[in-house]
A = this chain, B = another copy of it.
C-alpha cells in the first residue's frame, strides 16, 4: 500500500475509516445514495462486480442441485404473521403497500383504492415461498425441493450505509425442503461451504465459519450458520448465513408430506442468503489509501489500456496500437473467461485518467505512447504495487503473462487480508477486564482503529451477551473448528465448552 499523496483518498483509513469508506465508493464510482430514503443507486462499476459475483455463485448453486425460480415481491400481512418470531423480527422495519392507485383530490394526487389486506414488500421470502411449497409437496417423492431466487428485498433500516445496510438490497435466497432433519442439516452445511468458497476463492475475503448464538439467530430459525470476515477497522462483517429452520416454517405454511411409512409429516426446511453487502465487504477489506482494489475474479475490467498521446497528430497511430494491444489481451484466458479489457480513449488529462483507474481499482493498467510502438512494448502497472512502480513488457509476451499476474494479485489480496486478520486476532485473553481493555480505544480524541477478534471460551449463558453489549461487542459465532470442550468462560469465569469469536461488528 502506498503512502499519502495528493491523489490519495481523503481522509485516509487511519484518519477516519467510515468516511474513508464513503469516499472510496465515490472515487471508484461504485454507488451513490439515491433521493429515495435508504435506497442506493448501484453504478456500473459496482454493479459489474455484483454481476460477476452472481455468475460465480449461481454456477455453484446450480452445481449443488438447486434450480432458480421467482416468487412475488409482495407478502400478504397474514402470511408474515404465520411464524411468530419471524413477524416479530421484521414488523418494525418494512415497507407497507396499502393502496393500488392514485387519484386527484383538491388538485393533489393522493393514494386511493385501499387494499383489503395490506401487502408487505418482502424483507425475506420464507412465508411466501412456503405457501407455494405447501402446494408442491405431497409425498416424500417430491422431496427434496431445492429452490433459489435472485431478488430485491426491503428492510426499512433507519441508519443506512451504502452496500452494508440499505433499505432495499439485492440478494439471493435459497429455500429447500427435505424429508429428514439430517438431510436438511446437511444442506445447511453444504451451502455454508459454498459461501465460504465464494468469499475466499472469488472475493479474496478470508472468513470464519461458525454458528450463531441463540440471540443472534435468524428470526424463526433453529440453527443459523454464518461466515464472518474482518474489515480493516478490525470490526466483523457477517457476510452470509445459512439456516436450518426445523419444522417451524413448514408448520407455519403447512408444508406436509406423506412419508415412506404412509404418515403425514411436516418437512424440514432451510434457507440461506448473501447480498450486495458482500460488495461492501470487498471494499472495506481490499481498498487502500489510493482507493478501491478489485479482486481480479470480480473485476468488470481486468486491464485498462491508456493511450498516451503527446501530440494530436499522433493520436491515430497510438489509438491503433492500443486497439491492437487490447485485441491481443482478449485472446488470453483468466478464470475460464477471456481477459476483460477496456481501451480508455476519453479526451481528459493524463493524470486524471490514470488516477480514475487507480481509484476504481482495476487490477492492471497498461500505458502506451508513441515510443512504445516502435519497441513493440507496453508499460504495465499493477494495482497491488505502488502507483508509479512500472515494468516493460513486450506485446508478444503480454497474453501469456497477464493471466499469471492476475492470479498473483487475486491470491495476494487474499493473503494480505488473512495476515491482517491473524495479526489482529487475540487468543491469549482470559478475563473480562482484558477483554474490556482490548476493545477500549486508547485515544478518545480521534476515531481510532483498535480491537479486533478475540477467540475465547464462553459458557453459553445468554447473560454473557447482555454484559458484552455494554462493551458494544457481540459473539460473532462459535467457530465450526473448535479447540476442545474444556475451559473457562472469558466473561463469567465459569466452566465453558465452546470457543467463540468476540468482536465489534457492522
Chain A interface residues (CB < 8 Å from chain B): 32, 34-36, 39-44, 47-48, 50-51, 67-77, 79, 81, 87, 91-103, 109-111, 113, 118-121, 128, 131-132, 135, 141, 147, 151-152, 154, 156, 168, 170, 346-348
Contact = CB atoms under 8 A, between A and B. Distances in A.
A348 B91 CA distance: 44
Q: Which one of A39, A50, A72, A156 has the greatest number of beta carbons of chain B within 10 Å?
A: A72
B48 A74 contact: no
Contacts of A102: 77, 87, 91-92, 94, 96, 120
A286 B397 CA distance: 51
A252 to B, nearest CB: 14
A495 B130 CA distance: 61
A200 to B, nearest CB: 26
A98 B72 CA distance: 19
B98 A98 contact: yes
A36 B74 contact: yes
A69 B484 CA distance: 48
Given A39-B74, A72-B41, A154-B73, A87 B109 contact: yes
Contacts of A72: 34, 36, 39-41, 168
Contacts of A109: 77, 81, 87, 91
A121 B73 CA distance: 10
Contacts of A73: 39, 121, 152, 154, 168
Contact of A101 (B76, B91, B348): B91
A317 to B, nearest CB: 23
30 contacts: A32-B132, A34-B128, A34-B131, A35-B76, A35-B131, A36-B128, A40-B72, A41-B132, A43-B69, A44-B147, A47-B68, A48-B67, A70-B170, A73-B154, A77-B102, A77-B109, A81-B109, A87-B102, A91-B101, A91-B103, A93-B100, A93-B101, A94-B102, A97-B97, A97-B98, A98-B98, A99-B118, A102-B120, A111-B118, A151-B152
Contacts of A135: 32
A347 B87 CA distance: 39
A351 to B, nearest CB: 17
Contacts of A47: 67-70
Contact of A96 (B32, B39, B97): B97
Nearest to A121: B97
A40 B73 CA distance: 10
A157 to B, nearest CB: 10
B36 A76 contact: yes
Contacts of A71: 34, 41
Contacts of A96: 97-102, 111
Given A36-B128, A154-B73, A347-B141, A100 B94 contact: yes
Contacts of A92: 101-102
Nearest to A36: B72
Contacts of A348: 141
